[in-house]
């Protein structure tokens, strides 16, 4: 299968070629023709599957014909849960649209609003936004939605996790009723299904990899270790294996800062990325990590959402996530675009219930290792002795109708 067989126009095929993509990924093969046909799409796809191109390429093609955005208007709106994902998507829009004359822009919270208001004055064909800041801009009359033709909700599950449901409904009530809706979500909870029932019309359903199974290209295992020795084990592993680029997940912001400090004292250069850091600090931390200036990037789950770090070789779970599905999101940071990756969890005895829930979700038992210098005093019990009932994932429902409703007040992002 080639990109040209999907009905993409020459400028987009050129852009894809510039990027060195030789063939479409499965989600692209399915979503591109569906989006080009003008239908609503509901796709179950994790990050790393190529989902951004799967909606961006056909969206740009549809926008390429038709009048440009008028002053303060936008024609396509991509909503994302986090600034990092917004930056990522806006970057992709610019790359894939480089041979077209469409304009694109990016708005998110935590930075000055005035430059964003100025930019919107000229009108923007594709706007990538986080919900809270977009509502702020609307309340300041900086943006008008009457020209919107396409709405994309990217990582819809995460938007709901972050409490954006009210904002989303509020925004949907402001958009024209006649529009194309595209929804991407890694998982499908009851709330997501309600959302899709409310605003998708007879969507094309796409499911590329079985939900709730973590990336096949990622080799996953666990180190058993005492809780208080995790930091020492981590720097030991980094140094003995000579790992150059490691993304480490902690459960809390404080934990992330503490780990950065401990690793630093051990001579391992690490930086943290989390919600208490300013946008400048977050961007710098990410840029330094990408440029191999720091060896370790320590992140919380929210901050890491949407990070796309090329050829990231491994992800470490310093602590297991409380929400099992975050394990899949974390592991999805590596082994992307068909490359091999490693997902390593440092597990202490008190985390056995979390481990068990994760293993039920991914339907595999993680192989365990013990480093001879870090033999745990408290052994992690075998998970089959732990009683957790695996939750059955729900199938996305087929059809819905399109009526948007308003509710609630804005919440900033
Ligand atoms: P995404 O799931 O959209 O975050 O994309 C994951 C990664 O796959 C990004 O680094 C893309 O540049 C890359 N990618 C997307 N589509 C293709 C393709 N057809 N061939 C090779 N790489 C791709």
How far does residue 228's CA lie from ligand 1's centre (Å)? 38
pLDDT at 288: 86
Contact 333, 262 (CB under 8 A): no
Name the residue at shortest CA distance from atom 12 of ligand 1.
50
Name the residue at shortest CA distance from atom 21 of ligand 1.
21
**76 or 189: which carries more pLDDT confidence?**
76
Structure-block tokens of residue 56: 């961006």
Nearest atom (ligand 1) to Cα of 22: 20
47-52 mean pLDDT: 84
316-322 mean pLDDT: 95
Question: Please, what is the average pLDDT of the chain?
Answer: 86
pLDDT at 312: 79
Reported as a single tens digit per residue, the pLDDT across 239-273 is: 998 888 899 999 999 999 999 999 999 999 999 98
62-75 mean pLDDT: 96
DSSP readout, 371-408? -GGG--SSPPPPGGGS--PPPPPPPPPS---------S
Does the structure show a pLDDT above 60 at 100?
A: yes
pLDDT class of 284 with cuts at 50, 70, 90: confident
What percent of the chain clears pLDDT 70, i.e. is strictly above it? 88
Structure-block tokens of residue 20: 């060195």
291-314 mean pLDDT: 80
Instruction: State whether the beta carbon of 332 lies less than 6 angstroms from ligand 1.
Output: no
Domains and CATH numbers, the chain: 3-207 (3.40.50.300), 218-374 (3.40.50.300)
Q: End-to-end CA distance of the chain: give it in Å, rounded.
A: 40
pLDDT at 391: 46
DSSP category for residue 73: B
Reported as a single tens digit per residue, the pLDDT across 113-154 is: 999 999 999 999 999 999 999 999 999 999 999 999 999 999
pLDDT at 398: 47
| Element housing 325 (H / E) | helix 325-331
| Cα separation, 144 vs 146, whole angstroms | 6
Structure-block tokens of residue 393: 């994932």
Name the residue at shortest CA distance from atom 11 of ligand 1.
50
Q: Are strands 314-317 and 296-299 parallel, antiparallel or unpaired?
A: unpaired
Cβ neighbours of 203 (radius 10 Å): 23
């Amino acid at each position: 299968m080639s990109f040209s067989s999907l009905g993409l126009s020459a400028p987009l095929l050129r852009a894809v070629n510039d990027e060195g993509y030789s063939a479409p990924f499965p989600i692209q093969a399915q979503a591109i023709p569906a989006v080009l046909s003008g239908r609503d799409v509901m796709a179950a796809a994790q990050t790393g599957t190529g989902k951004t191109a799967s909606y961006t390429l056909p969206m740009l093609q549809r926008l390429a014909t038709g009048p440009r955005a008028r002053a303060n208007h936008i024609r396509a709106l991509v909503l994302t849960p986090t600034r990092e994902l917004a930056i990522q998507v806006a970057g992709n829009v610019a790359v894939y649209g480089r041979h077209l004359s469409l304009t694109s822009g990016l708005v998110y919270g935590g930075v000055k609003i005035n430059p964003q208001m100025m930019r919107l004055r000229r009108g923007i064909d594709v706007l990538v936004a986080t919900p809270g800041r977009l509502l702020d801009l609307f309340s300041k009359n900086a943006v008008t939605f009457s020209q919107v033709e396409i709405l994309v909700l990217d990582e819809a599950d995460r938007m709901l996790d972050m409490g954006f449901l009210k904002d989303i409904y509020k925004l949907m009530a402001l958009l024209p009723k006649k529009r194309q809706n595209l929804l991407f979500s890694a998982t499908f909870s009851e709330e997501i299904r309600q959302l899709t029932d409310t605003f998708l019309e007879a969507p094309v359903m796409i499911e590329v990899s079985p939900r709730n199974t973590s990336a096949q290209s990622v080799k996953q295992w666990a180190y058993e270790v005492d809780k208080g020795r995790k930091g020492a084990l981590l720097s030991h592993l980094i140094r003995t294996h000579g790992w150059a680029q490691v993304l480490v997940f902690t459960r809390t912001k404080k934990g992330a800062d503490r780990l950065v400090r401990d690793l630093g004292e051990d001579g391992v250069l690490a930086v943290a990325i989390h919600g208490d850091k300013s946008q400048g600090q977050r961007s710098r931390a990410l840029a330094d990590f990408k440029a191999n200036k720091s060896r370790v990037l320590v992140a919380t789950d929210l901050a890491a959402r949407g990070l796309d770090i090329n050829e990231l070789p491994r992800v470490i779970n310093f602590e297991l996530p409380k929400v099992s599905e975050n394990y899949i999101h974390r592991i999805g940071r590596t082994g992307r675009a068909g490359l091999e990756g490693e997902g390593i969890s440092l597990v202490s005895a008190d985390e056995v219930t979390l481990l068990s829930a994760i293993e039920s979700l991914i339907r595999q038992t993680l192989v365990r290792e013990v480093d001879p210098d870090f033999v745990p005093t408290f052994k992690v019990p075998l998970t089959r002795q732990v009683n957790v009932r695996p939750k059955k994932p729900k199938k996305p429902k087929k059809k819905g109708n399109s009526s948007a409703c308003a509710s609630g007040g804005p919440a900033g992002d």
